[in-house]
A and B are shown apart, each in its own frame.
Chain A
Amino acid sequence: MIRLEGIKKTFETKDGPLEVLKGVDLTIRDGEIYGIIGFSGAGKSTLIRTVNLLERPTEGKVFLDDICLTDLSPKVLRKERRRIGMIFQQFQLFPSRTVFENVAFPLRYTGRTKAEITDKVEKLLELVDLSDKKGAYPSELSGGQKQRVAIARALTTDPEVLLSDEATSALDPQTTKSVLKLLKRINTELGVTIILVTHEMDVIKEICDRVGVMEKGEIVEEGDVFSIFSNPQADITKNFVESTMNLSVINDLIAAESPLVELSPGECILRLRYLEKTTSEPLVSDLSRKYGIVINILFANVEIIRDHPVGGLVALVGGPAEQIGRAIQHLKSIGVGVEVIRDNEVLSANCA
């Protein structure tokens, strides 16, 4: 378990002190994948770097299980750091060393025999599927391969926690997916707790169990990934969710006065969202059958997160006003969020 208590960090800059972290409290449970998301400058990289004290907080404490890392002497801290692996956006492999030597790096001079090191390194290279590259130099590898070497290197000391600082941000979407898959496997197969920092909601969606949203040096919202996606509270969180769900495209269409969203009298545009972990039922056909209304889907986006659908659809709905009203009541009762985007003399009457 990792516990951060009241972490503050102030950097001295030419323009005076800059408070990057403003008192962050965070608990990361054993075995989970915890994502920290935020825009650049939010302080998320600084935050993850305080976990292994690459960045020493100005104030606050960092606990690894019951050990207070911030109180340790440099010597003991170095030893405890071997329980926390780390990977970086720019990989940070040692260019003058081969893949094998890079992975072996953290184990050298730790009292292990050559045979033990070789054995460990070969197992890890197998895990990251790079056994055939062990004699290659980093400059001969692709970005994804470099990151996989970095992951193997971070795992040589059998850490309980792996810190990932924007590890996929320099990779293309395809490679990002494969690296995320590898991280997920390390999490489930080796039981390594993972803390990752990213600015991409897709990364959170793909592998995280819980997520903390950072803004201006604070965690503004935290929760399991499903509820953050289905029901974001803070503005910045909504922003992030929309960036990946694109149900907000409707706003652009309306602003552009697209003919797609022009309404005849008696029509309205609704945005429906899955809020609870319901299995996806035949929503649209159910509604039109039961209530005799016409539903024309403008667009929809449903993602499966932790085995449950998240997302929703934007639809143009027409029919008798009172029937539309009932349909909306029904939707709300089964845990679907309903938002009226545009209305032409339908709901102004009965559902304001």
Chain B
Amino acid sequence: MKFFQQIAPNVAAKADVFGKAIVETLLMAAWAGVFVILFGLILGIILVITGDKGIRPNKVIYQVLDKIINLFRSIPFVILLAGLMPLSRLIMGTAIGLKGAIVPLVIGAIPFYSRQVESALSQVDRGQVEAAEAFGVSAPGIIFRVYLKESIAPLARGTTIAIISLFGLIAMAGAVGAGGLGDFAIRYGHDRNQTDATLVTVLVLVIMVSIIQIIGNTVAKKNTH
């Protein structure tokens, strides 16, 4: 502890604030992550099965979804944060703080993640899907037993990338009032010129990102045969 006080005096002095910031970041990542993965998977699956090589090709649904995703991917996250305030208030009851950040985080990350899902599921050989069809497997059966089951490895890699990029968004959300590590780094590291606060924040983020990457790699490796 003494050593820590020496090399990062400002962080040590604000240990409770820093701890709270870590918890806030993790909370945002967990809540937003759950919804991003849920909706991203659904949208990714719809993209793949309605695409022209899918099991239920549907030009209208595919094109509409495709364009909406492109649209939301083009909007800078900072603008989403502000623009989605009314929606946040409607869903979460508030547009500020940690709770207020969840809606823009989810909407900001879903388009990217659904593209990751689409690309992962597209790697499943069309022939395997046909084989399952030939055995009389239903459409839901094909989605779960072929598309999802056969692409666990690329899905794990895509999910890893998406969650890590979610941390980037969380830091940004923090800067505009949601708390978390981004907020901490700006408030102390930047505004008060306490370089150690910035460095320690970065270090903690590096550790978080590494852990996520290791988990993702392990899952992918275990499911590659």
Assess whether A96 is in contact with B150, with CB atoms less than 8 Å apart: yes
B141 interface residue, CB < 8 Å from A? yes
B residues 8-42 with Cβ under 8 Å of A? none
Assess whether B136 is in contact with A79, with CB atoms less than 8 Å apart: yes
A216 interface residue, CB < 8 Å from B? no
B2 interface residue, CB < 8 Å from A? no
A106 to chain B, nearest CB (A): 4
Given contacts A85-B135, A92-B127, A93-B128, 10 further A-B contacts (CB under 8 A): A78-B136, A78-B138, A92-B130, A95-B150, A96-B223, A97-B149, A106-B135, A153-B135, A154-B135, A157-B135
Could you list which residues of chain B lie within 8 angstroms of chain A, going by C-beta atoms? 125, 127-128, 130-138, 141, 145-146, 149-150, 152-153, 223, 225
Assess whether B128 is in contact with A96, with CB atoms less than 8 Å apart: no
* In the complex with contacts A78-B137, A90-B127, A94-B146, A105-B132 CB distance below 8 A: yes
B82 to chain A, nearest CB (A): 44
A-B contact list, 25 entries, CB within 8 Å: A52-B134, A54-B133, A78-B136, A78-B137, A78-B138, A81-B133, A81-B134, A81-B136, A84-B134, A85-B134, A85-B135, A86-B134, A86-B135, A88-B127, A88-B130, A92-B131, A94-B146, A96-B149, A96-B152, A96-B153, A97-B149, A106-B135, A106-B136, A137-B225, A139-B225
Interface residue tally on A, bucketed by range: 20 to 34
B127 to chain A, nearest CB (A): 4
CA of A94 to CA of B141 in the docked complex: distance in angstroms? 14
Assess whether B127 is in contact with A81, with CB atoms less than 8 Å apart: no
**Which residues of B are found within 8 Å of A90, using beta-carbon distances?**
125, 127
CA of A85 to CA of B152 in the docked complex: distance in angstroms? 27
Assess whether B131 is in contact with A86, with CB atoms less than 8 Å apart: yes
A residues 16-55 with Cβ under 8 Å of B? 52, 54
Residue of A54, A78, A84, A137 most packed against chain B (CB within 10 A): A78
* In the complex with contacts A92-B125, A94-B150, A96-B149, A54-B135 CB distance below 8 A: no
**Which residues of A are found within 8 Å of B149, using beta-carbon distances?**
94, 96-97
CA of A245 to CA of B22 in the docked complex: distance in angstroms? 78
Q: Which residue of A lies closest to B141 (CB)?
A: A109
**Which residues of A are found within 8 Å of B127, using beta-carbon distances?**
88, 90, 92
* In the complex with contacts A106-B136, A137-B225, A139-B225, A88-B131 CB distance below 8 A: yes
A82 interface residue, CB < 8 Å from B? yes
CA of A141 to CA of B125 in the docked complex: distance in angstroms? 18
